[in-house]
Structure 1
């Protein structure tokens, strides 16, 4: 694919959900780090961007790009270069770019009315809430719409702490739940927690990372038992009532890590004994992306559904949409009045309805399972000859590739180099992990087998180039 000319840019920054907190050495970060490209539309826009936005608002690539339009699984930048999109605006373009069904629904709704607020009844909001409540698996479910995953998790924390009359919350190590004051307070990934101040008392437990940490050497069964014992120990140190456990079935910003299937079912047995609520953060794992299940929690479903479920990203296919599903007694526990000015707006719910209908009618969950398996197999096969790759993990179209140095330590330099090489070759991916050393691969769920093959080939090529540039652990270590 002729996506770019050679020697175009050099990375080390990242978007606000996946930025590398350990910037790469410009001499090892990627191609031509010491020779930036000539000024162009992107360079001019970057200067304007930096003048009016916060310094902590990170962007991908040393020379960031503007994406101006897309179609299907492809996007184009302001300089006319085409890319396979394997990140989908941080797992948000779930079905496809410029999906005609969504575009039509949005245009038709925009021609009628754009906005009303929850002070007025809304047919598309009610219809979408009915469908999500049924799909959630939560009995007697009610739905509250927000504008983002951060706001959805905020709302879930409000509900859980009000219902349980406690501000103590359990969260997973290496987790990420948003950028607001309260969600930063339950984020276990220190690279994304800019303050220790919080309205919540957060207790962190093991289980989000299977192949690193003190339990990594154990079997899945023993790993789960050790994590349950840790949970019991943490609860023994808590003072009084604990409100909830919030957990991502697969940790997104953490680098697409997860515990064994059934871990949260084992946790829920403990939680239920104490009356503690289980909040599943499905902002990235929902809507069939994992292929095997419609929701990430269903891989842990032996103990039944969660008490609360948060969602966002993919349901809107780029529209600003999020929400919370909860049992009616939990959702209705608030005593004060409340509204949502923008949550569940006519235009976002109309687009989300069309998007959800397309996803279900075309079995995109099944497609994620099939094309994801193709990608995983290709990457795992190539990794056998790439010492730079420690692990290829994930399920469906949610795939992580962890990169390391020669001694096996995390290598953010290798990740930034691969990110840039991939862009140069014509494929956009993401990055994550606490040390910024994991690649995040999450294409739209309509990805075709041919595109999966093409993208896998480009990613393998990018990894080989990073292996040559940065190096990895020695063979056999």
Structure 2
């Protein structure tokens, strides 16, 4: 396959860039694929690599390209703002930041809300923990097993996922409770109602182990890095009844579930709405559509509990605020939440049908455009990160990018395309993923004596039975 001449390759190509990457960047900085790819540009739901190969993007830069690649409204807002002023800090009034905060405060559902902007989800969750522990005068925090909340010292301390928690040192005393994973663990065999009752009983038991005041429960309505797992609807409403009796705050980590991605709701917490909105809500990723935007929404009394001066140098940047406001306006005006529901439902059913006869697929789960495919060893049921890695490679060779996650073993494929995904693109991606799953999980015949196994496809080269990725530049 010839390289698209419209996309010039960098010196040394992807292999050379990979060698330079390894020479100067941390060894723990994860890269996908045996031969990592460099993405150079995108449009809509597609991206192109440095070799000119086109891919249907079903991961969106880890759920961050929320509306579309190269969305004209966002590009225009960024260019116009950059032409006026790039930076000012929060020491000066910023009209766009105020306008965006007003819209987010209203959308949050939190009464008398205040909004603080950060540059990432990690920083947003870190700030939420600072607020909660200060407000409650306690460093004890409840978190969910299998959770992920970021890579800072404080957020690692509330991450219940061994694969993403590099240290046991912590500024917090964290108590982990059941409920984030429905299909595994000691309560998996129970009905939804009994599952919730058992998790509430576990919460009571955990609180009995606490030393006095507990500051907050931090929880993802759908666990992202954990493999798109979620409890039955209503669990956090039941938790909220217990938390309220103790004065414990509820922090809803909406970094991956916010902005309508689940289709049924604008925020993940709304699946548990009987308990009302959370005390604190964190967001990031999709709101900036690739720009570095995160933030915290909280009741005024919680947000204003810090009795010191504070600023943010880069949070609320004029450029990122302009991008986020344009992106949010586009999302609302085009009802992308409704599109996630309309397109996501058939996508999930199509994937379930395609996976029904595959012994390596343990479960297809999700809602809206947030779908997880859990892979396991046939016969044993043990998680199979090797299979997930193989499917990732097969899908890339066929022109589709997906992610992976799932506990500490990364045995779950994560499907999360931009919310503007069309029905035709959903069908195309599901068919490619089904073919990749079949190819990666098919029994492989042992090579004959003296015969070498077939070589892996070279970068940009598809396996013999795969349709070639598109080649035209946007």
- In the other structure, the counterpart of 1:459 is 433
Q: How big is the shift at 1:4?
A: 9.6
- In the other structure, the counterpart of 1:413 is 386
Q: Would the aligned equivalents of 1:208 and 1:259 in 2 still touch at CA under 8 Å? A: yes
Q: Specify whether residues 356 and 44 from structure 1 end up closer, same or farther in structure 2 by C-alpha distance, changes over 3 A only.
A: same
Q: How big is the shift at 1:336?
A: 1.0
Instruction: State the TM-score, normalizing by the size of structure 1.
Output: 0.90
Alignment of 1:275 onto 2:247 = yes
Q: How big is the shift at 1:382?
A: 1.2
Distance (whole Å) between structure 1 residues aligned to residue 443 and residue 311 of structure 2: 54
- In the other structure, the counterpart of 1:265 is 237
Q: Specify whether residues 470 and 49 from structure 1 end up closer, same or farther in structure 2 by C-alpha distance, changes over 3 A only.
A: farther
Alignment of 1:390 onto 2:327 = no
Distance (whole Å) between structure 1 residues aligned to residue 81 and residue 3 of structure 2: 37
Residues 74-124 of structure 1, C-alpha deviations (whole Å, 9 max, x = no match): 000001000000000000000000000000011000000000000000000
Q: How big is the shift at 1:189?
A: 0.4
Alignment of 1:249 onto 2:221 = yes
Q: How big is the shift at 1:303?
A: 1.0
Select 1:442's aligned residue among 416, 422, 434. Answer: 416
Alignment of 1:238 onto 2:249 = no
Distance (whole Å) between structure 1 residues aligned to residue 406 and residue 3 of structure 2: 28
- In the other structure, the counterpart of 1:20 is none
Q: Which stretches of structure 1, 4 residues or more, deviate above 6 A after TM superposition? A: 2-5
In structure 1, the gaps of 5 or more residues are 6-38, 472-477
Distance (whole Å) between structure 2 residues aligned to residue 60 and residue 180 of structure 1: 22
- In the other structure, the counterpart of 2:81 is 109
Residues 402-434 of structure 1, C-alpha deviations (whole Å, 9 max, x = no match): 001022111001100000100000000000012
Secondary structure of the residue aligned to 1:111 is: helix
In structure 2, the gaps of 5 or more residues are 5-10, 446-474
Q: Would the aligned equivalents of 2:348 and 2:364 in 1 still touch at CA under 8 Å? A: yes
Q: How big is the shift at 1:466?
A: 1.1
Residues 189-227 of structure 1, C-alpha deviations (whole Å, 9 max, x = no match): 011100000000000000000000000000000000000
Residues 129-171 of structure 1, C-alpha deviations (whole Å, 9 max, x = no match): 0000000000000000000000000000000000000000000
Q: How big is the shift at 1:40?
A: 5.4
CA RMSD of superposed structures (Å): 1.4
- In the other structure, the counterpart of 1:60 is 32
Q: Would the aligned equivalents of 1:3 and 1:426 in 2 still touch at CA under 8 Å? A: no
Distance (whole Å) between structure 2 residues aligned to residue 204 and residue 293 of structure 1: 26
Instruction: State the TM-score, normalizing by the size of structure 2.
Output: 0.91
Distance (whole Å) between structure 2 residues aligned to residue 51 and residue 399 of structure 1: 35
Q: How big is the shift at 1:469?
A: 5.3
Distance (whole Å) between structure 2 residues aligned to residue 456 and residue 388 of structure 1: 17
Distance (whole Å) between structure 2 residues aligned to residue 376 and residue 299 of structure 1: 19
Select 1:120's aligned residue among 85, 92, 108. Answer: 92
Residues 438-465 of structure 1, C-alpha deviations (whole Å, 9 max, x = no match): 0000000000000000000000000001
Q: Would the aligned equivalents of 2:113 and 2:298 in 1 still touch at CA under 8 Å? A: yes
Secondary structure of the residue aligned to 2:61 is: helix
Select 2:146's aligned residue among 174, 187, 191. Answer: 174
Residues 4-403 of structure 1: pairs in structure 2 closer than 5 A = 41-403=13-375
Q: How big is the shift at 1:3?
A: 11
